Structure 1
Amino acid sequence: MVVTMIAAVLVPLAVSAPAQAAQNVAAGTTGWTPEIYPLFSGEWVKRDVSSAQRDSELIWCSRASGIACVAIGQGDGKHSIFHLFKCDTRSLSNFIDALSVRNNQTGGAQVRFWGPNTNPYYALADGNIYNFPDQATYDFNRLDIC
């Protein structure tokens, strides 16, 4: 009897619900768009870099003296790479995972990331690629170059 009562309530609701298209699973994973604001004149971002190419793209991006390059995951297995050189504090959005930095600035300038609940993380100007833990990047909302 209970089953009959539940069915009597749910069947009319299902019939009156609007038809919805089936989700397109074949379309692939949906990602997000990481942003650094502001990007100054001459700075740029390259999107959709594969994981296999990320480190070589970071090196290529930062080959010139005075440049810092930041790669961040897009959530779809690809990365956005930011080419930065202006000394300033920036806002970050959608910095969620897979953060790597190569700092080729001069004069010992550092790249510093931080958030409201995370101590700062640094990338020194030593030509190395720094990989930051995902749990820290979830909180990062600021970036300082210099």
Structure 2
Amino acid sequence: MTMIAAVALVPLAAQAPAQAAPNVATGTAAWTPEIYPLFSGEWVKRDVPGDKRRDALIDCSRASGIACVAVGQGDGKHSIFHLFKCDTRSLSNFIDALSVRNNQTGGAQVRFWGPTYSYHAPADGNIYNFPDHATYDFNRLDIC
């Protein structure tokens, strides 16, 4: 019976490192940016490669009335948020590589602010890049 118990433990021990390794590797190097709330019809696309970010941001905001936000995930990839509802939202894990393309109508701005910094992107279809030190400070977003 002792032999059977030892055999049963070996496969479990062998599986544990294989399952733990991916979590350790990605968990320490990356984060998940969030905008809350996302309203019905709004969405986020994760894991956009850095070399595809600009094109993804433009594609996201082609429709009139849309504002799109791209922000780094800490692993060389980006999250792209597709937004259109006029409201104030909370931000979390906004740390670096923030870009905005505002294709809203009626002159609506995309405005970010925090305890120290405030920046906006006018509705002119250009891509605006914000400095990392300000991005880290931002805790609110308004798209009106």
Give the TM-score normalised by structure 2.
0.82
Query: Tell me, which stretches of 5 or more residues in structure 2 are unaligned?
Result: 1-16
**Runs of 4 or more above 6 Å deviation:** none
Q: How far off is 1:61 after superposition? A: 0.2
Match of 2:10 in 1: none
Pick the aligned partner of 1:127 from 125, 128, 131: 125
Task: Name the amino acid aligned to 1:34.
Answer: P
> Where is the helix percentage greater, Structure 1 or Structure 2?
2
Q: How far off is 1:30 after superposition? A: 2.3
Task: Name the amino acid aligned to 2:136.
Answer: Y
User: Helix, strand or coil for the counterpart of 2:57?
Assistant: helix
**CA distance in structure 2 between the partners assigned to 1:111 and 1:27 by the alignment:** 34
Match of 1:51 in 2: 50
Note the 1:1-146 alignment, pairs <5 A.
24=21, 27=25, 30-118=29-117, 120-146=118-144
**CA distance in structure 2 between the partners assigned to 1:64 and 1:24 by the alignment:** 42
Q: How many residues align?
A: 124
Q: How far off is 1:27 after superposition? A: 4.1
Task: Name the amino acid aligned to 2:141.
Answer: L
Larger Rg: 1
**CA distance in structure 1 between the partners assigned to 2:51 and 2:86 by the alignment:** 30
**CA distance in structure 2 between the partners assigned to 1:35 and 1:138 by the alignment:** 13
Percent of matched pairs sharing the same residue: 81
**CA distance in structure 2 between the partners assigned to 1:58 and 1:129 by the alignment:** 8
